[in-house]
Structure 1
Amino acid sequence: MDEQPWSRQRLRSNNEWLLLERLRAAGPASRAQLARDSGLSKPTVSSALAALEQAGLVREAGLLAPERGRVAVLYEPDPTAGYVLGVDIGRARLRTAVADLSGRVVARVDVPNRGRSATSVADAAIAAAEETVAEAGIGRADVVQGVVGAPGVFDPDTGRVRYAVNLPGWGRPGLFERMHERLDIALSLHNDANLAALGEYAFGAGTGSRLFVYVLIGTGLGMGVVADGKLFAGAHGAAGEIGFLPLLDASALEGDGTAPRRGMLEDAVSADAVVRAARDFGMRGPLTAKRVFDEARRGEEAAVAAVRQEGQRLALVVASVSAVLDPDLVVLGGGVGHSADLLLATVTETLHRLTPLRPRVAASALGEDAVLLGAIATALRGARPAVFERRAVM
């Protein structure tokens, strides 16, 4: 006897969640359409929609006027039932955004990262997030979930970030807790390349891929792997830390015979490597990877040679990854990846000479927004069921 009320309550909740997800996936629908699609009876659908509307989870989206029959009310999820926060902490810039439950960005703040210590970087990210929430015109209580993307791998047991060598001091314990306490929002910290991969899968070039790899080439070198829509993080969260792959050339070792702290492959492929190669080929003056690529577009010989070398080395990365994972798509992103138009021909040509395993290689469709949009997509996965549990009429 005691179980029956609970069972009815649980069944009603399941029906409401089923209809809410149907509306989210397929767009506005009438009661009759929902009944046909779900297999539920029309009275059950009507009751569930009434409960969802009362809870602020669905709203009327217009009217459907068929050629015959009565005009029907269309329903859709109410995107303002909750909000999510995305934060991208890079060495050069901090990007933050607030999105509603449909994934629409309602406010965004991009600022240079001028922090000279890990604490000042964390505080700058906190300030940018607070500014973004204020610009969205909502309160912190309206933000259901926040996701932060940064270099390295976060260890929740120790509170430390490992392998973030390009963001000095970021491995110090307590930084994430500082952000969590100051923002007072449910918050999680993720590797930036992993989030970029999820963002590219949700909104960009990776959509529909069975198994695709996102290679982030910028200040550092990272990789995210998405298989059947799910991130593959490895046993300790470090899957994709390809910067630590060894090179066969022993000359890449330091004087004491050890690999560079940032990793052999990262040292050979990242933005700094492009600058070093350009100098070796004869470029002079203040150099950045961006300037090298800009000069390559103008046909400057040393820049063209440096970019070609970068493309050849990236082909080695793709060949190595393909031998292990067999992806159907490899997406190039990050600061260097933004110039993929200059790299793709060399990468493809070299790949065909290196291996019979030849996935399609493409430029990122999201550019510099990949990490931020991946943070939004990840936050939405947790926020939508959390909002339902919080607001549904049980």
Structure 2
Amino acid sequence: MLAVDVGRAYVRLALADLVGEIAARAEEPSRAESLDGLLDQLSRMVAGLTAQAGLAPGDVTVAVFGTPGIHDKETGALRLAPNLPGWERPGAVERLAVVTESPYVLENDVDLAAVGEGAYGLGEGVSHFVFVSIGTGIGMGVVIDGKLYRGSQGAAGEISYLPVGEGDPLVDLGRGMFESVASADGVVAIAERLGLSTGTAKDVFEAARAGNEAALKAVAAEADHVAHALAGVIAVLDPELVVLGGGIGAQAGDLLIRPVSERLESLVALRPPRIEVSTLGPDAVLLGALAVGLATARDLVFERAVAGPAR
């Protein structure tokens, strides 16, 4: 089976057998600036990966694609994915058929990261947890009673739209209030507003570790935003565990977990859940796609075996 993580910055692929052993993998900077360019890139990478494993594209049992946004099954468009231009057009998702000759499944990338955490990471054996990705965008995967919860329209966990940061000039309602102030761009903008000249969110966090006063204030603002968002999540879902991932969640956990946890003490009714940084790093989405793909592939192989050879 084939697992594909389609991100704004990188595209990651892995080919695995039915035991889950990865036979080949590949990673490239993403050509996400256009739908056609990204489809061409994916097609080339899949062909190269299957050839590397000694397979033909048709030998792949199933492919699982993880992307930002929500698949609108009525129109075939990808909604709420501004970092993937062109995918909002009707029928865009169906064009993935040119990438692989096998049946394919499309899932939200953060949902897949939550599945990956449950199968291979900190969520293993935890019945109620959330995976919160904070980076160029913000999203959340929800696991309830050990199962991924998608909601009625597949939009459960779209916490980028939580009303956090109201009144801040950074807020862009088209992007989501919380995401506007707490994503990587928001962290940089707040730091610059405080007098720190910087290029990336990573620079802000490194400056904070070095003791820069403006950077420390920017990190404190980020922690406050995250704490208020998590307070709403905790009040509704009461998770046992919050796993932080994404560029900011993974890179700045050492700066965020303690102040977020302390702030939550005064924001939630009962004891806050554990907050930990994902141990899966950038492979979380890919591993979640593998977990989903393995279950689907095994079912398909079983169905074919029961049906017997075509006559």
Per-residue CA deviations over 1:122-161 (Å, capped at 9, x if unaligned) read 2222222222222222222331111101110002221111
Check if 1:272 corresponds to 2:272. Answer: no
> Distance between the aligned counterparts of 2:53 and 2:279, measured in 1?
26
Counterpart AA for 1:366: L
Q: Quick one: which of 332, 349, 354 aligns to 2:267?
A: 354
Structure-2 residue corresponding to 1:181: 98
Measured on the aligned residues, the alpha-carbon RMSD in Å equals 1.8
Which of 125, 139, 163 aligns to 1:246? It is 163
| Distance (whole Å) between structure 1 residues aligned to residue 261 and residue 136 of structure 2 | 23
**Equivalent residue for 1:102?**
19
Does the 8 Å CA contact 1:149/1:195 hold for their aligned counterparts?
Answer: yes
TM-superposed CA distance for 1:251, in Å, is 4.5
Q: 1:110: how far off? A: 0.7
Letter of the 1:166 partner, please give it: N
Contact 1:196 1:372 in 2 (8 A): yes
Measure the CA separation in 2 of the matches of 1:157 and 1:251: 36
Cα deviation, 1:165-204, whole Å, max 9, x if unaligned, reads 2322221233322221341111111111101110111110
Amino acid at match of 1:104: E
Q: Is contact 1:194–1:231 with CA below 8 Å preserved after alignment?
A: yes
Distance (whole Å) between structure 1 residues aligned to residue 100 and residue 150 of structure 2: 27
1:296 and 2:213 aligned: no
C-alpha separation in 2, matches of 1:164 and 1:230: 24
Displacement of 1:252 in angstroms is 5.2
Alignment gaps of 5+ in structure 1: 1-83
Deviations 1:87-142, CA, capped at 9 Å, x for gaps = 11111111111111121211111100134212212222222222222222222233
1:214 corresponds in structure 2 to: 131
Q: Is structure 2 residue 281 aligned with structure 1 residue 367?
A: yes
Contact 1:212/1:225 (CA < 8 Å) preserved in 2?
A: yes
- Alignment-derived partner of residue 133 in structure 1: 50
Which has the larger helix fraction?
1
Confirm or deny: 8 A CA contact 2:63 2:100 kept in the other structure.
Answer: no
Match of 1:328 among 240, 251, 254: 240
Q: Determine what percentage of the aligned residue pairs are the same residue.
A: 49
Letter in 1 for 2:117: E
Given that 2:42 and 2:99 are in contact with CA atoms closer than 8 Å, whether structure 1 keeps it comes out as no
The one-letter amino acid of 2:247's match is G
Tell me the distance in 2 between the aligned counterparts of 1:347 and 1:209.
21
How high is the TM-score relative to the length of structure 1? 0.74
Residue deviations 1:208-244 (CA, integer Å, cap 9, x gap): 1111101111111111101122110000111111111
Q: What secondary structure, in the 3-state scheme, does the structure 2 residue paired with 1:249 have?
A: coil
1:51 aligns with none
The answer on whether the counterparts of 1:85 and 1:143 sit within 8 Å (CA) in structure 2 is yes
Q: Deviations over 1:57-107 (max 9, x none)?
A: xxxxxxxxxxxxxxxxxxxxxxxxxxx111111111111111111212111
Count of aligned pairs between the two proteins: 306
Q: CA offsets per residue over residues 266-308 of structure 1, 9 Å max, x none?
A: 11111111111111222114x1112222222222222222122
- Of structures 1 and 2, the larger Rg is shown by 1
Q: Is the 8 A contact 1:85 1:147 kept in 2?
A: yes
Question: Normalising by the residue count of structure 2, what TM-score does the alignment of the two structures yield?
Answer: 0.93
Q: Which has the higher contact order (CA 8 A, sep 6+)?
A: 2
Tell me the residue number matched to 1:342.
255
Does the Cα contact within 8 Å between 1:146 and 1:379 map onto a contact in 2?
Answer: yes
Helix, strand or coil: the match of 1:144?
Answer: coil
| Deviation of 1:393 (Å) | 8.5
Distance (whole Å) between structure 1 residues aligned to residue 99 and residue 39 of structure 2: 10
The match for 2:291 is: 377
- Whether the 8 Å contact between 1:145 and 1:383 is mirrored in structure 2 is yes
